[in-house]
Structure 1
Amino acid sequence: MNWRISIVLLLVLSACKKEKATVIHVPDQTTESIENNYIIEVDELLKIAKEPTIKIIDFRKAEIYNQEHIEGALHIWRTDVEDPTYPYNGMMAGREQLETLFSDLGIDTNDTIIIYDDNALCDSSRLWWILQNYDFTNVKLFHGGITDWKNKGGMVSKEVPKVTKTVFKLTDTPSMKYYVSKTEMEEAITDNTIILDTRSYDEFTGKRQKKGAAKGGRIPNSKHIDWSLAVHYHGDKKIKPTEELNQLYSELGISKSDPIIAYCHSGVRSSHTTFILTQLLGYKNVKNYDGSWTEWSHFDELPTEQDSVTTLFN
């Protein structure tokens, strides 16, 4: 009888271990190493979506938003949060531009903004990063987006919500706590700062030059880590388990206390990496270079590195 009980116990323990290994875990607010949890899942959003202080932002291209969006969702795209005064695209919008944008959308300073996209939270992370720099923290990223929303019976619509203009105000002296300028990046390449290039490998080597850049290549002393490795990019586009993320970035030989600057083509993909490192993994000193390669490549006096002749353009 005893040996039969032992076999049953072994089978139960084995099954529990297998089940545990498949769980995708995004840390909650009680995790000690996380300053704040900016992730929201579909079950929580379904409960609060219709509350008047909740403003959902669809951060996808306008033509996609117009086809279908979460009912009541407002629309913002990258160009809405870019400063058009630069000779190159993608730079972070100024405080007054953002205040006007959000006021016109009927968003109040005390509202909670929930952002979703169709690109594994990459675009949403850019808006999160911008708002963080201006010290607006009432923001969450919807993990799973419109796909999870529809799968759980959430209502979608083509109708653009009618809004009443509000007064949205940001702090007069923003901390810019995750922001790095071109001048600061110039200084970083000569000290002990870890520089992370979060673009594709072809962009990193200089083989590919994306539209907007003046040339192919990378910032000197960069380590390469494609931002999309942190998510199931060819699957449900959700964030990978914490254990996998820790392993991924530890392979770069960096610690959670190292000074780190991330960059990409125009600061979007590197915003996602900044979010992952600071909010989910507890890295203490990570910033994002706003202009990234688009800006850096426009200045011939700035040093660059390249491993390949540029043959791919897009």
Structure 2
Amino acid sequence: MRSVRKLLAAGALVLAGLQAVLAAPADVLVSTEWLEKNLNDPKLRIIEVSVNPGVYERGHVPGAVNFSWHTDLVDPVRRDIVGKENFEKLLRTAGVSTDSTVILYGDTNNWFAAWGVWVFDVYGIKNVKLLDGGRKKWEAENRPLAAVAKAPVPGNVRVVEVNDKLRARLPDVLAAAEKRSDVALVDIRSADEYQGKIFAPAGVQELAIRAGHVPGAVNVPWGEAVAADGTFKPVEELRKVYAAKGIDGSKPIITYCRIGERSSHTWFALTKLLGYEVRNYDGSWTEYGNAVGVPVTNLAGTVWGGK
């Protein structure tokens, strides 16, 4: 028995070590200090993905190009991410080449920039990093901003693969809700959204007719992954935050929110920093909460959003 315990302990240490290697923050995050020092690197491509109108135009990281989440990173006809051909064209116009290092950043705590990283991963683009703390930290530190956008020299990157394993669909989430698959569900919305007290954050337009959460999902609001300045918490602290809710990487994970942007932030933390196997459900609550025939857990007793 003692030898078995030793083997199990050794296995756990090996697993932790492998996860630590996968989760090396320097491989997926850059600091504001590092980015300012490397602004003139010819192989660096900086992309802003913000959601608030006029933010990029008011001033942006020097050399950055602007991707609109609503038009550039989604399909304008279908509710879907941008198609493969249009994404390749977008990247080439932004100056991205096969040897480029891409840095993404944005407003609202990097939610939409993290969405961008997820889309880049779906299409197999390598060497993509997130600016830790995003636009808010860059501005708070009074680092340089440019008001004039310069068109980069077109790049030569090619999109040759599509990794659908990073995406969760409604049937995947329903299977987990009905316990037909052994998948951990992480709802990263606020506690009031999770419990069904509110249908969506105040002022948003994308709504669901039902409130509550997917049965079996645990609630770990996205904000628990970040420090006061918007940077990600240290890896070991992150591991404890999620382990406290039963999320330890021992089974596949699906993250979701309302429209998929906040959940991509948690997807980044769980995948890139902790090395867990995670899919982002970009349909999220606006799809699930409007779907017919799916189970909903509503702790607040709200039945539906119509009156």
TM range (shorter): 0.7 to 0.9
Residue 77, structure 1, aligned to residue 68, structure 2: yes
**Deviation (angstroms), 1:153:** 6.6
Report the RMSD for the aligned CA atoms in angstroms.
2.6
Equivalent in 127, 144, 160 of residue 138 of structure 1: 127
Equivalent position amino acid for 1:221 in 2: G
Q: Deviations over 1:34-80 (max 9, x none)?
A: 27721011232223221222111122234111111111111113112
Structure-1 residue corresponding to 2:279: 287
Partners of 2:19 and 2:274 within 8 A in 1 = no
1:286 offset after TM fit, Å?
A: 1.6
Matched, 1:252 2:245: yes
5 Å-filtered alignment, 1:117-266, equals 117-146=106-135, 148-149=137-138, 154-171=143-160, 173-189=161-177, 190=179, 191-210=181-200, 211-215=205-209, 216-232=211-227, 235-266=228-259
- 1:227 maps to a residue whose letter is W
Give the deviation of 1:168 after TM superposition.
Answer: 3.6
In the TM superposition, residue 151 of structure 1 has moved relative to its aligned partner by 6.6
Instruction: Report if aligned partners of 2:260, 2:281 keep a CA contact under 8 Å in 1.
Output: yes
| TM-score (norm. length: structure 1) | 0.80
TM-score by length of 2: 0.81
Displacement of 1:225:
0.9
Matched with 2:292 is 300
Offset of 1:149 from its aligned partner?
4.1
Give yes or no for contact 1:124–1:141 (8 Å, CA) kept in 2: yes
Correspondence list, 1:16-55, <5 A = 31-34=20-23, 37-55=27-45
Residue range with higher mean Cα deviation, 154-163 or 68-77: 154-163
Would the aligned equivalents of 2:22 and 2:274 in 1 still touch at CA under 8 Å? yes
**What SS does structure 1 have at the residue aligned with 2:23?**
coil
Distance 1:109 1:126 in 2: 21
Count of residues in Structure 1 that have an aligned counterpart in Structure 2? 278
Which of 57-66 and 98-107 deviates more? Answer: 98-107
Identify which range, 268-277 or 239-248, moves more after superposition: 239-248
Q: Does the Cα contact within 8 Å between 1:209 and 1:310 map onto a contact in 2?
A: no
Q: Which runs of 4+ in 1 moved over 6 A?
A: 310-313
Among all aligned residue pairs of Structure 1 and Structure 2, give the percentage whose two residues are the same amino acid: 30
TM-superposition CA deviations, 1:93-144 (whole Å, max 9, x none)? 2212211222233333432210112333322211111111111122111113
Higher-Rg member (1/2) = 1
- Contiguous gaps of at least 5 residues in structure 2: 1-17
Residue of structure 1 in register with 2:7 after alignment: none
Aligned counterparts of 1:33 and 1:108: Cα–Cα separation in 2: 25
